[in-house]
Amino acid sequence: MALIERLVRLETPSDDKAANDRMADMLQREMHDLLDCRTDVIETRDHGNHLAVRMGSGPRQILILGHFDTVHPVGSLARSPFRIEDGRLFGPGVLDMKAGIAQAMFALHALQQDRYGRETVPYRVVFLLSSDEEVGSPSSRPLLLREAGQSDSCFVLEPAAGAQAALKTGRKGVATYRVTAHGKAAHAGLNVADGRNAIAEIAHQILALQALNDDVRGVTVNCGLVHGGVAKNTVPDTARLVVDGRAPDPEAADEIDARLRALSPATAGTRLEVRGGFSRPPMPETADTRALLCLAQDLMRRIDRDITGIAVGGASDANDVAAHVPTLDGLGAVGAGAHTPGEYVLADHLTERAALLAALVDRCGRPEHAALRKSE
Ligand SMILES: [Zn+2]
């Protein structure tokens, strides 16, 4: 909890390079204080630096993914300071995912100190900590994918799902589309017939797009931002719409993409321009993730605990790596309110979650654990 407090007290919004650089340095020191490991700070120009932590040696490689950036702007800590009340740890980014990082550090510490003692951990562990996950991992993605391609299993430290503290075995892919309608300006009284109303055109498109929502298939299309017009008495020549699209599997993602690209104007004399696409691919539930979930359930049963896995609508780095390595997400802290000022972590679960991660890493890292070989 002292480590979590130190991490929370250094605020790290994704867009603050200096703050995230300081966090990469701080975590590097913390890693060396706790672990016998090699660390590299990976410098980036437009985002905060990233940190790669490596330990052990052997034929297999286990990847752990975390991010230390948060969605909370600087100043959030002053309004919602780090505190512990009734077994809950509060503070900006404590759940997503500074507590998860601390859990993983102590999981690796347990493996190194308690499981193997003076021996070297008999597999490679790569713990990647990035500074730009909350803005879609633009600068860390190549690094994540490179390590994913060389790993046998991957565990992601995003928060557990909901009150039942479920693991995350599937995630929707996420798309952003910017739809612009081009019309023709005119005076609303003098020559309205010469005008082509771009806002009216966007309104048609909004209704058509909202109709693509499909509860059964888990497809969501949300027209979330609209902007248009210059004055009440001017026929607007431009209107812009930003759409969030989500799909649980690649087929549904392709379908949404095709529908968006095929949009055609409903109003004569207007033109549509569509930009964007999927920034995170879907992470469908696969046999690989189910095998990792079964292993986690097996391990939890030994301490008389149940654990489930669920598919969720939000995306994470797991979306990007899951196509390259068997991946299980939701191994971070247990709590609620992620991305809100009231987010908290349940202190009671910290040790158990760290132990679960340690046991999973160890089972998947040992060469005799052949059942979870990458299925090519
Ligand atoms: Zn997160």
**Tell me: the pLDDT tens digits for 316-353?**
999 999 999 999 999 999 999 999 999 999 999 999 99
pTM of the model: 0.91
Q: Determine the distance separating the centroid of ligand 1 and the alpha carbon of 343, expressed in angstroms.
A: 12
Give the residue from 260, 262, 261, 267 showing the smallest Cα distance to 202.
267
Q: Determine the distance separating the centroid of ligand 1 and the alpha carbon of 324, expressed in angstroms.
A: 20
Question: Is the confidence at residue 371, as pLDDT, over 90?
Answer: no
Q: Determine the distance separating the centroid of ligand 1 and the alpha carbon of 157, expressed in angstroms.
A: 8
Give the residue from 359, 362, 349, 360 showing the smallest Cα distance to 102.
349
Exposed e or buried b per residue across 270-288, where buried means at least 16 C-beta atoms within 10 angstroms of its C-beta = bebebebebbbbbbbbbeb
Q: Determine the distance separating the centroid of ligand 1 and the alpha carbon of 278, expressed in angstroms.
A: 19
Give the residue from 135, 153, 155 showing the smallest Cα distance to 315.
135
CATH topology of domain 2-171+283-372: Aminopeptidase (3.40.630)
Q: Determine the distance separating the centroid of ligand 1 and the alpha carbon of 161, expressed in angstroms.
A: 12
Q: Determine the distance separating the centroid of ligand 1 and the alpha carbon of 246, expressed in angstroms.
A: 18
pLDDT, tens digit (0-9, with 9 covering 90-100), for 51-70? 999 999 999 999 999 999 99
Q: Determine the distance separating the centroid of ligand 1 and the alpha carbon of 339, expressed in angstroms.
A: 9
CATH number 3.30.70.3420 given to 173-280: no
Question: Is the confidence at residue 291, as pLDDT, over 50?
Answer: yes
Cα-based distances in Å from 260 to 89, 110, 114, 172, 176: 43, 50, 54, 18, 10
pLDDT at 368: 72
Q: Where in the chain is the domain with CATH 3.40.630.10?
A: 2-171+283-372
Q: Determine the distance separating the centroid of ligand 1 and the alpha carbon of 128, expressed in angstroms.
A: 13
pLDDT at 376: 36
Q: Determine the distance separating the centroid of ligand 1 and the alpha carbon of 375, expressed in angstroms.
A: 27
pLDDT at 76: 96
The whole-chain average pLDDT of the chain stands at 95
Q: Determine the distance separating the centroid of ligand 1 and the alpha carbon of 288, expressed in angstroms.
A: 22
CA distance 186 to 196: 8
- Per DSSP, the three-state class of 82 is coil
Q: Determine the distance separating the centroid of ligand 1 and the alpha carbon of 69, expressed in angstroms.
A: 8
* Mean pLDDT confidence for 187-202: 97
Q: Determine the distance separating the centroid of ligand 1 and the alpha carbon of 133, expressed in angstroms.
A: 7
Q: Determine the distance separating the centroid of ligand 1 and the alpha carbon of 159, expressed in angstroms.
A: 7
pLDDT, tens digit (0-9, with 9 covering 90-100), for 97-156? 999 999 999 999 999 999 999 899 999 999 999 999 999 999 999 999 999 999 999 999
Question: Is the confidence at residue 374, as pLDDT, over 80?
Answer: no
Whether the CB-CB separation of 152 and 325 falls below 8 Å is answered with yes
Q: Determine the distance separating the centroid of ligand 1 and the alpha carbon of 67, expressed in angstroms.
A: 7
Q: Determine the distance separating the centroid of ligand 1 and the alpha carbon of 332, expressed in angstroms.
A: 9
Q: Where in the chain is the domain with CATH 3.30.70.360?
A: 173-280
pLDDT at 118: 84
CA distance 345 to 204: 44
Q: What band does 370 get if pLDDT is binned at 50, 70 and 90?
A: low
Beta carbons within 8 Å of 113's beta carbon, 6+ residues apart: none
pLDDT at 373: 47
* Mean pLDDT confidence for 199-212: 98
Q: Determine the distance separating the centroid of ligand 1 and the alpha carbon of 168, expressed in angstroms.
A: 12
Q: Determine the distance separating the centroid of ligand 1 and the alpha carbon of 97, expressed in angstroms.
A: 5
Which helix (H) or strand (E) is 19 found in, with range? helix 17-34
Q: Determine the distance separating the centroid of ligand 1 and the alpha carbon of 258, expressed in angstroms.
A: 29
Q: Determine the distance separating the centroid of ligand 1 and the alpha carbon of 96, expressed in angstroms.
A: 5
Question: Is the confidence at residue 189, as pLDDT, over 70?
Answer: yes
* Mean pLDDT confidence for 282-297: 96
* Mean pLDDT confidence for 225-238: 97
Pairing between strand 220-228 and 238-247?
Answer: antiparallel
pLDDT at 369: 63
